[in-house]
Amino acid sequence: MLDNMRSDAYNEIKYRIIHFDYIPGQKISEKLISQELNLGRTPVREAIIRIEREGLIEVIPQSGTYITKIDMADAKNARFVRSCIEPKIMVDAAVNISDDDVTTIQKNLDEQKQTALKNEPDNFFDLDQEFHHAFYKVVNKDTVWNWLQINNTQLNRFRRLRLKETELDWDTLTNQHNAIFDAVKNKDVDDLSFLVTQHLHLMLLEKQKVVDAYPDYFKN
C-alpha cells in the first residue's frame, strides 16, 4: 500500500511539473500537496526528495521548496548528447527496420498530423517522443532511450513549453519527422545523419521566442 502511495505521489507531482500545472519558480508546500492529492505527507515528502534529485525541485534553506526554473545550459548539454547518439540510432534502424515497425511509425506520423491540426501540444509532445523512441526500439536500444530521458529533463521541459507557444509553427517538426522516416525506409544512410542533426538543432533554434514568451520560467 505504501509503495503504491509513493508511486502515486511521485507520478502525480512530476506530471504536474512537466505539464506546467506547477510552474517554474513556484513555491510548493508538502502539506498543501498532500491535501491536493489526498495522500499522506510521508509519500509526498519522499516523492519530493526523489524529484529534487532529478533537478525539478529545489529546497532553499530558510526559504522553502520551489519548482526549479528551466536550465538552458543543461538543455543544451542534453541536446549535444542526443546529437551524438541519435544519428547512429537512425542509421542502424535503416538497416534493421521491419514492416511492422514501418506500420507503427506511419500510424504515429498520421496521429501527429491530426494532433497538430487540433492544436493539442501535450498530445503532440507525447507523439513526438514516441516517434523517436520507436527507432531506439528497432535497434534494441531501449535502455539508451530510458537513460536519455532521465538526463533530458530540462530539454524536455523546454520542448514541451515550445509547443505551447502558439506563434511557432509545428509543420516544420512534422515535415522533418517525415523526411527522417522516408530516409530510414529508403535506407538512405548518407542523408540520415544530416536530417537527424538538423532536426535536433531545431529543438533550441527558437529558444529566444520561447524565453521572451515565458521569461520567468528560465534560470538566469
One domain, residues 46 and 81: no
Higher pLDDT, 69 or 205: 69
65: phi then psi, degrees, rounded to nearest 5: -110, 130
Mean pLDDT of 17-26: 95
Cα 111 to Cα 123: distance, rounded to the nearest angstrom: 9
Q: Residue 11 burial (CB < 10 Å; 0-12/13-18/19+)? A: exposed
pLDDT tens track for 95-134: 999 999 999 999 999 999 999 999 899 999 999 999 999 9
- 57-76 pLDDT, tens per residue? 999 998 999 999 999 999 99
- Give the count of domains, the chain: 2
Mean pLDDT, to the nearest integer, of 17-23? Answer: 94
Average pLDDT value for residue range 206-212: 88
Residue 134 belongs to domain with CATH number: 1.20.120.530
- As beta bridge partners, residue 58 has 66
134 with 200, same domain: the answer is yes
Stretch 161-186: mean pLDDT: 88
Contact at 8 Å (CB) between 213 and 121?
Answer: no
The answer to whether residue 153 scores a pLDDT higher than 70 is yes
Q: In what order do the strands lie in the sheet with 27-28?
A: 27-28, 64-67, 57-60
Quote the domain boundaries for residue 106: 72-217
104/193 same-domain check: yes
Whole-prediction pTM = 0.88
